[in-house]
Chains A and B, each alone.
Chain A
Amino acid sequence: MLRLEKRPTPSQAWAWGTPFLAVALTMVAGGAMFAMLGKNPIEVIRTIFWDPLFGEFAWYLRGQLLVKAGPLVLIAIGLSLGFRAGIWNIGAEGQYIMGAIVGAAVGLAAYPTESRWIFPAMIMGGAFGGWVWGMIPAILKTRFNTNEILVSLMLVYVAQTILAMASTSFLRNPEGSGFPGSRNFNSYPAASNPELIAGTGMHWGVVAALVTVIWAYILLQRHLLGFQIKLAGQAPRAARFHGVNPNRLVMLCMGISGALAGLAGLFEVTGPAGQISIDFNVGYGFTAIIVAFLGRLNPVGILLAGLLMALTYIGGEMASTNLGLPSAAIQAFQGMLLFFLLAVDVMSNYRIRLFTMGAK
């Protein structure tokens, strides 16, 4: 019989090893799923994980890597702060949408003025929109004790409806001959978020993501707030004795993650997406939850996890065009990854012991 024995302290070696083990297991299980869909599993896995980096079109696809990883990392860093403290903001998708709408509205209000202040103002707007959307569950939690998981998720559906409204009515392009969707930011230089270095996919959102990684690393390693966040998650009782104000922590974590998600939305809508449209959001807010866990809630880990997850997006698209793999398969694949991560996490907290019946 197998038995679990709790480790006195989590194993450091396993803490670093589990993400790799989980990715390997997901490739095996995902391969089995692709085989059941009638595809050659090795070919699919190679298309997803190898070809975008070293294949024929790698010169283009490598740039896409940063484009996809930017928003994922930006959102996941914010989420990881809350997750560490036991504050579950799972409505990042809604905050992402609201950030994009508010930021875009700021830019469109100034159209067609050309000024170098427009884009910074839009960035503020984006962060503000996401922040407000994140503060709603935070205030309701601290003031009325509601469950932040349910409220933040309900607000995603509300945000999606507002997005539909924005793209069909109040932000619709007046010269768009009635089609839904706003003006395209790529043809409005003062408000656009172009590629900074041609061919790398580097835009302001990627820069923001990298800055955020460094900021979060310093926050968690060197700042009192980071210490309080970690303490509140690991030992809530000890945190109270230490003088951590749980309500303040909820407000800060939800506010920061909301603002970062809003920023991600703004950079996406002004750059890669180009305009507000009914379906410009592609679920980054939800995938970022996987990224946060895959990176073990550690800023540097999240950066790597974001790149890996971006790879599955790009590879998944390639597999769907080249091999006819349904695009939903990659979504199931990403979900599977989170399962395996959570499953192998047992190794870092417990030892598996073999024992024989009666020997106890």
Chain B
Amino acid sequence: MDFGSINPAVLIASLMVASVPIMLAALGELVVEKAGVLNLGVEGMMIMGAICGFITAVGTGSPVMGFVGGAAGGAALSLIFAFLTQILLANQVATGLALTMFGLGLSSLMGQGYNGIKPPSTGKVPFGPLTDIPVLGRILFSHDWVVYGSIVIVAAVWYVLKFTRAGLVLRAVGENHDAAHALGYKVQRIRLLAIVFGGAMAGLGGAYVSLVRVPQWVDGITAGAGWIALAIVVFASWKPWRVLIGAYLFGGITVLQLNLQAAGSRIPVEYLSMSPYLITILVLVIMSSGKGRASLNAPAALGQNFHAAR
């Protein structure tokens, strides 16, 4: 096995790219869960974002429009979830599963005839001479705008949740919806907005998979990234900056195992490709047990439906 062929700078640069989809989706889900809603349909919304983004980008020839389309696709699917759980008070776990199954089916239906097409490429941000700095230039200044955008969104979500009135209201709804309702906040409306935001973010993440990461359309392209995003929210104990760390960790594992496969590692390919899922389980175990139980930080009203009796 040849570790020498793995260049650490390239590895870090590519893990930043690999982690964008799960980071975006996990951030969206974090906001949704902070509002007290458990949407297990992340995988479905991501793959809808992937196909909608792909179709829009191929149709318009503009990657930016592709990302807009992806976000719109994810948000549109999340509206179904919002309607079912907030208006018709359906079980959130079951509805989320339905969302994933429906999204997988619909995306593969919409993707007929899009196999083997190359989407317009998303350009790198021109940093000029900065890109030529050895090592650092490769790591920090060689990416497309979505990579930087995702970090900005982490900061924005953190700021809004922690320092603004809107963030406080959102968290109040997620901690105790009866109290929030008594204070006059529109619980269902706030949750609906959070769900749509989560859907748009998942869609954005999905679009990044089909437009930049892969970049082409194949059925089931997200391959469980949405579920890993859900796990990252638990890993991050519902804190935005930890989502960034979690996403980089998982991006790192994915990239490393791909690199090891390419470098002809003696570990069989199958073990490497199942490693992201096994490590997700391991991380969940570590984070959920012991004294620093992540679940203690979970929003108190998570997964409970709200029905105003009066």
A residues neighboring B (CB under 8 Å): 4, 6, 37, 88, 90, 140, 143-147, 149-151, 153-155, 157-158, 161-162, 164-165, 286, 289-290, 293, 326, 328-336, 338-339, 342-343, 345-346, 349-350
Contact = CB atoms under 8 A, between A and B. Distances in A.
Given A90-B97, A286-B101, A151 B284 contact: yes
Q: Which 3 A-B pairs have the closest CB atoms?
A: A335-B102, A331-B105, A332-B105
B307 A6 contact: yes
28 contacts: A4-B89, A88-B93, A140-B284, A140-B285, A144-B289, A145-B293, A147-B284, A153-B224, A157-B223, A158-B277, A162-B270, A165-B268, A286-B101, A289-B97, A293-B94, A328-B109, A328-B219, A332-B105, A332-B109, A338-B101, A339-B80, A339-B95, A342-B84, A342-B91, A342-B95, A343-B83, A345-B90, A346-B88
B277 A154 contact: yes
Contacts of B98: 290, 335, 338-339, 342
Interface stretch (B5-13, B162-170, B226-234): B226-234
B168 to A, nearest CB: 27
A154 B93 contact: no
Contact of B105 (A149, A162, A328): A328
Contacts of B219: 328
A165 B98 CA distance: 30
Contacts of A333: 105
Given A153-B224, A350-B307, 19 more contacts: A144-B288, A145-B289, A145-B295, A147-B288, A149-B40, A150-B281, A155-B281, A157-B224, A157-B274, A162-B270, A286-B101, A331-B101, A331-B104, A332-B109, A335-B101, A342-B95, A343-B84, A346-B88, A346-B89
Given A6-B309, A161-B274, A334-B101, A151 B93 contact: no
Contact of A161 (B80, B101, B270): B270
A342 B101 contact: no
Contacts of B293: 145
B86 to A, nearest CB: 11
A71 B196 CA distance: 37
- If over half of B's interface residues share one DSSP class (helix, strand or loop), that class is named, otherwise mixed; here it is helix
B179 interface: no
Nearest to A145: B288
B105 A343 contact: no
B108 interface: yes
B280 interface: yes
A146 B307 contact: no
B176 to A, nearest CB: 18
B97 A328 contact: no
Contacts of B274: 157-158, 161-162
A165 B285 contact: no
Given A145-B293, A343-B84, A331 B288 contact: no
B278 interface: yes
Contacts of B263: none
Contacts of B289: 143-146
B115 interface: no
Contacts of B121: none
A82 to B, nearest CB: 11
B273 interface: yes
B152 interface: no
A249 B89 CA distance: 27
B234 A161 contact: no
Contacts of A289: 97, 101
Contact of B278 (A4, A158, A329, A336): A158
B101 A153 contact: no
A343 B88 contact: yes
B267 to A, nearest CB: 13
B106 interface: yes
B87 to A, nearest CB: 8
Query: Could you say which of B227, B234, B274 has the most chain A C-beta atoms within 10 Å of its C-beta?
Result: B274
A264 B74 CA distance: 34
B280 A154 contact: yes
Nearest to B89: A346
Given A332-B106, A333-B105, A346-B89, A146 B284 contact: yes
Contacts of B270: 161-162, 164-165
Contacts of A293: 94
A154 B112 contact: no
Query: Could you say which of B101, B102, B274, B281 has the most chain A C-beta atoms within 10 Å of its C-beta?
Result: B101
Nearest to A36: B109
Contact of A338 (B83, B102, B223, B285): B102
A339 B88 CA distance: 11
Nearest to B234: A147
Contacts of A158: 274, 277-278
Interface string B64-83: 00000000000000001001
